[in-house]
Amino acid sequence: MKNIAVIGSGTMGNGIAHVFAQYGYKVAIIDVAEEALKKGLSTIEKNLKRQVEKGTITEDLKLQALTNITPFTQLKSGVHQAELVIEAATENIDLKLKIFSELDACAAAGAILATNTSSISITKIASVTNRPDKIIGMHFMNPVPIMKLVEVIRGYNTSDDTTNLVMDLSRNLEKIPVEVNDYPGFVANRILMPMINEAIYSLYEGVAGVEEIDTVMKLGMAHPMGPLQLADFIGLDVCLSILRVLHDGFGNPKYAPCPLLVNMVQAGHKGVKSGSGFYHYVAGSKELKVASQFL
Ligand SMILES: NC(=O)c1ccc[n+]([C@@H]2O[C@H](COP(=O)([O-])OP(=O)(O)OC[C@H]3O[C@@H](n4cnc5c(N)ncnc54)[C@H](O)[C@@H]3O)[C@@H](O)[C@H]2O)c1
């Protein structure tokens, strides 16, 4: 496999394109928004430059990786040569179903169509295509060039051939793929989101404060970051939407999102991206300050 297409040049799309280009694949990166495409390409260049400065890649490899990437704004022209397409567009089910039905029509008949979705059913996405055996989840972690895991998710009809190809391909990128089945939240978010929700419940019920909860998990469980800080990084709106997928998908009240989380998202306190969540964020400052509501 040589030709890859990545749909979406946001946080995840540019990271995925970066890694494939670094490992010698020809990458078409496609975004509907011209601005997002420019920003994605400049992020890739900046991150490759940082790798050169750290001595993890050479200047020549950086230049080669950059020439391996071609930007597109049209899906059809971007995917026509691809043997594997990885969709990393905005997390919205209607959008993903539309993209996959278009992809099925315009990608090569033998191409594997993967999605980087955090929470949408692979089986549901496969159901709008005529190649359910070639639809698979390839869930990279953020930041893609650094994080080793790829959660490889088999839909109900994903074939062994497709799964084995994607597992091998992930290893070619020096990632560690883990095969899981398609149930709500897969494995990563099924375990992570209830932990974050429980941390928010502990705050809501007054068991302890923001810093105390995060400190317990950092020092007691050796987590590099506390669950409330991690929730701010992921985005509280994203956490809420994944919890809703778990709650709806399993019909089990244990996944019900904490009312404090719901309120915070409704009030626009979405974490790092909005400047405030459990902590307060000032652009350019690395200091971690608890948000005034929780002092
Ligand atoms: N951010 C994370 O930490 C993370 C981690 C794992 C998985 N994911 C998943 O990765 C996917 C992308 O997330 P993100 O954080 O990179 O989002 P993002 O908002 O940073 O980027 C999404 C990009 O998709 C583009 N887009 C929207 N519609 C499109 C279309 N029809 N065709 C092409 N491009 C289109 C947007 O212009 C935007 O640039 C989501 O499914 C998300 O759940 C995100």
**Minimum-distance ligand 1 atom for the alpha carbon of 98:** 31
User: For residue 9, how far is its CA from the centre of ligand 1 (angstroms)?
Assistant: 7
Residue 17 has pLDDT above 90, yes or no: yes
Select which of 3, 47, 121, 139 is catalytic.
139
* Mean of pLDDT values over 195-224: 98
* Mean of pLDDT values over 56-60: 97
Q: Is 142 a catalytic residue?
A: no
| pLDDT score, position 8 | 98
* Mean of pLDDT values over 249-277: 97
* Mean of pLDDT values over 185-195: 98
Q: Which residues line ligand 1 (CB under 6 A)?
A: 7-13, 30-33, 36, 88-91, 95, 99, 116-118, 139, 142, 234
| pLDDT score, position 219 | 98
* Mean of pLDDT values over 116-134: 97
Q: Mean pLDDT in the chain? A: 97
pLDDT in tens, 132-179: 999 999 999 999 999 999 999 999 999 999 999 999 999 999 999 999
User: For residue 140, how far is its CA from the centre of ligand 1 (angstroms)?
Assistant: 12
| pLDDT score, position 225 | 96
* Mean of pLDDT values over 207-233: 98
- Tell the residue nearest (CA) to atom 20 of ligand 1: 10
3-state secondary structure the chain: CCEEEEECCCHHHHHHHHHHHHCCCEEEEECCCHHHHHHHHHHHHHHHHHHHHHCCCCHHHHHHHHHCEEEECCHHHHHCCCCEEEECCCCCHHHHHHHHHHHHHHCCCCCEEEECCCCCCHHHHHCCCCCHHHEEEEEECCCCCCCCEEEEEECCCCCHHHHHHHHHHHHHCCCEEEEEECCCCCCHHHHHHHHHHHHHHHHHCCCCCHHHHHHHHHHHHCCCCCHHHHHHHHCHHHHHHHHHHHHHHHCCHHHCCCHHHHHHHHCCCCEHHHCECCEECCCCCCCCEECHHHC
Select which of 87, 91, 151, 211 is catalytic.
151
Residue 286 has pLDDT above 90, yes or no: no
User: For residue 286, how far is its CA from the centre of ligand 1 (angstroms)?
Assistant: 25
User: For residue 164, how far is its CA from the centre of ligand 1 (angstroms)?
Assistant: 25
Q: What percent of the chain has pLDDT over 70?
A: 100
| pLDDT score, position 284 | 87
Which band of pLDDT confidence, cut at 50, 70 and 90, is reported for residue 216?
A: very high
| pLDDT score, position 160 | 98
| pLDDT score, position 61 | 98
Residue 71 has pLDDT above 90, yes or no: yes
| pLDDT score, position 140 | 98
Select which of 116, 189, 202, 276 is catalytic.
189
- Tell the residue nearest (CA) to atom 37 of ligand 1: 33
